[in-house]
Amino acid sequence: MTERKGKLFIISAPSGAGKTTLAERAVKTLPRLKRSISLTTRVPRNGEKSGCDYVFVDTAEFKDKIRQGKMLEYARVFGNYYGTPRDGVEKDLKNNFDVLLCIDVQGAMKIRKKFKQDAIFIFIIPPSLKDLRERLGKRKANSRAEIEERLAVARHELTYLKNYDYGVVNDDLESAFKKLCSIITAERCKVKGRK
């Protein structure tokens, strides 16, 4: 019997669709699943902690990590850099942990080019743009103009759905969570790789 290698799960969604909430629940529920903590240059939101939600760094430090080849992927989104540190992901996969990356579609497409068939891509879909607007409004962290900008980006991001292996509509958190866990469990049980 061959030794199990960790699997890489990529979760993307428009801002406010619930990808972070779903990912955090999955990590707490499923054994041997770790979430990669992204680096960002944005300012922490209320209640966010560095090293827990994101690792918050300044732009100079982020760009330095890019130059040193320490980023698995990165993108500039809403004026800030976001990215996945390479070392932690590679270490966890080598130690037979499955790794969950919560990243935008730009980053996901970079991962798709690098890992081709070795990653599983899951898109969290909002029930509608109207629901997404309401969710973004409840955050109280964005102005009206920022909400409209995020909705315009969401429309564009939804066109990438065809590049993902799975789509999960988050119209009910519990139902979406069960579907996400089912996908991860099914992929863990797979005996044959994709062609």
Task: Give CA–CA dist 172/96, Å, rounded.
Answer: 32
Residue 48 CB neighbours (<10 A)? 13
Place of tokens 């903590």: 37
Bridge partner residues of 101 (DSSP): 10
State pLDDT tens for residues 83-121: 999 999 999 999 999 999 999 898 999 999 887 778 999
pLDDT value of position 113: 87
- Tokens for 30? 């499923």
- Note whether residue 139 is domain-resident: yes
**pLDDT bucket at 1, cuts 50 / 70 / 90:** very low
Number of domains in the chain: 1
CATH code assigned at 30? 3.40.50.300
Name the one residue in this structure whose structure tokens are 């798709």: 112
pLDDT digits (tens, 9 = 90+) for 26-76: 999 999 999 999 999 998 888 888 888 889 999 999 999 999 999 999 988
Quick check: is 195 in a domain?
no
pLDDT in tens, 154-181: 999 999 999 999 999 999 999 999 999 9
Query: Which domain range does residue 150 map to?
Result: 8-189
pLDDT of residue 140: 67
Give a yes or no: residue 184 inside a domain: yes
